[in-house]
Amino acid sequence: MARDPETTAPLPHAPAPDGVLEAAVYATDLDTAEWFYGAILDLERIAKVPGRHVFFRAGHTVVLIFNPDQTEQPTPNPRLPVPPHGARGPGHLCLAASKAGIVAWRHRLTAAGVEIESEFDWPNGARSIYFRDPAGNSLEIAEPRLWFN
């Protein structure tokens, strides 16, 4: 449990995190998720435990796709004491690409039969496209300048 916000004692210093190492979405049909993220999004699969998870490399980040039915259960492996976790319903994941890359991705996705739900320029001029994976997760491809100038 986190400490009470009314506590006045200062917390010890720790450096800010360097970034996001991994991000997770959840899908009960991992075979279809593996096909979509590998064949359609062209991500490199780096790990797989059938029925439990499949992991992909996306630049300097790893995309974790878990079956929530399995990850909600305590781990049977005492050498990897990952706490139970999971989510139900659509999550969100945003991948980075240049404006020209987003145009190419729009063409690739529509050629693969993936519906583009939304495509627009943000107030700061960054471009985004939104679509869904087969599990219903909301996926976005956006220019990094959406957040970083």
- Give the CATH number, domain containing residue 67: 3.10.180.10
Residue 4 falls inside a structural domain: no
Which domain covers residue 32, as residue numbers?
A: 22-74+88-146
Distance CA 106, CA 112 (A): 10
Within the chain, which residues score under 50 in pLDDT?
A: none
Nearest to 116 by CA among 98, 103, 97: 103
pLDDT at 127: 96
Q: Give first-to-last CA distance, the chain, whole Å.
A: 36
pLDDT at 83: 87
pLDDT at 7: 67
Average confidence score pLDDT of the chain:
93
Convert the pLDDT of each residue in 48-77 to its tens digit: 999 999 999 999 999 999 999 998 888 888
Distance CA 92, CA 142 (A): 13
pLDDT at 87: 86
pLDDT at 89: 87
Residue 12 falls inside a structural domain: no
The total of structural domains in the chain comes to 1
